[in-house]
Structure 1
Amino acid sequence: MSYPPPPGGWQDPQSAPPVDPYAPVDPYAGAKSPYPPPAGDPYAAPAGYAAPAGYPPPGAYPPPYPGYAPASRTNTLAIVALVLSLVGFTSCITAPIGAIMGHVARKQIRETGEQGEGMAKAAIIVGWILTALLVALIIFYVVMIVIAINSDSSSSSY
């Protein structure tokens, strides 16, 4: 039979603490090791060792790093501009579109602070170079056609 606890919230120092019948039992609780306990930390610095200046003392670890800052987004228009400029190698029609979109992307990047400045610049450079080559090619074809027409009409004699 158990008695209720005495008033005042104090415990009887002579009574044993209550035992939990569902607590796990440690089978090695009273076992002794046949080996002597280690004389100290085996990884500790030798006696008289002082850490170099600027380093924490041995055994001290820096506080954990809170994590990386989230990466900022890359401007989607810069990606599309670069793709269109590079597709301009095969179809020169998309090169000026990519260059113009690169200009718009650079303006957006300056306003929003997004990533992609290099892609936008590359789109502008590649787009305008391919556009200039396309214009030079068209001028070359027009000149060749004019020369061919003039040489054909001057060589025919009726």
Structure 2
Amino acid sequence: MSYPPPSGGWHDPSTPGPQSSPPDPYAPADPYATAGYPPNAYPQPGAYPPPAGYPGYGYPPAPKQNGLAIAAMVVSIIGALGLCGYGLGGYIGVVGAILGHVSRKQIRERGEGGEGFATAGIIVGWIATVLAVLATIAIVIFIVWAANHDTSGFDGTTY
């Protein structure tokens, strides 16, 4: 069974006949063939564009990051680290959480990047705040207990 010859300038290597191939548009140019050597020794940029339908090189540019989202995350982390100071430094986490909420609103309105930073600021900020409130309650309970505790050691009994 025989097949029709392929179209598009391609030749079947098993068929006899002249085999001429189209010139390769990506073949390197001879730099010595130009009259302006050395200034024009290399092909100009864009001399060989990629065929139509192929995407360009590289990645698309990343969206602009929202600075408030980064600030929310940093302030919330500082609030979480402030928990080491008797837990009272965790109240700074409220500021980070509020900044995170404001930055998420800005990100939705402006189409900026930084959604993850804002979310991290909100979560870490509220966790630091809750732990600071619990630490404050524990400190108050300890102070009330210590104030009502008899420290004299004398209870009136004899041994």
Aligned to 1:84: 75
Per the alignment, do residues 45 and 100 of structure 1 end up closer, same or farther by CA in structure 2, a change over 3 Å counting? farther
Q: Which runs of 5+ in 1 are unaligned?
A: 1-43, 49-58
Structure with greater Cα Rg: 1
Question: Residue deviations 1:62-121, cap 9 Å, x none?
Answer: 435345433210110000000111111222242111111001001111111111111111
- Number of aligned positions between the proteins: 105
Select the structure that is richer in helix: 2
Question: Residue deviations 1:34-79, cap 9 Å, x none?
Answer: xxxxxxxxxx99826xxxxxxxxxx797435345433210110000
| SS of corresponding position for 1:120 | helix
Q: Percent identity?
A: 46
TM-score by length of 1: 0.56
Correspondences of 1:4-153 after superposition (within 5 Å):
47=13, 62-63=51-52, 65-66=55-56, 68-91=59-82, 92-152=90-150
Compare relative contact order (CA 8 Å, sep 6+) and give the higher one, 1 or 2: 2
Once residues 72 and 114 of structure 2 are traced to their aligned partners in structure 1, the CA distance between those partners, rounded to angstroms, is 11
TM-score by length of 2: 0.56
Aligned-residue CA RMSD in angstroms? Answer: 3.0
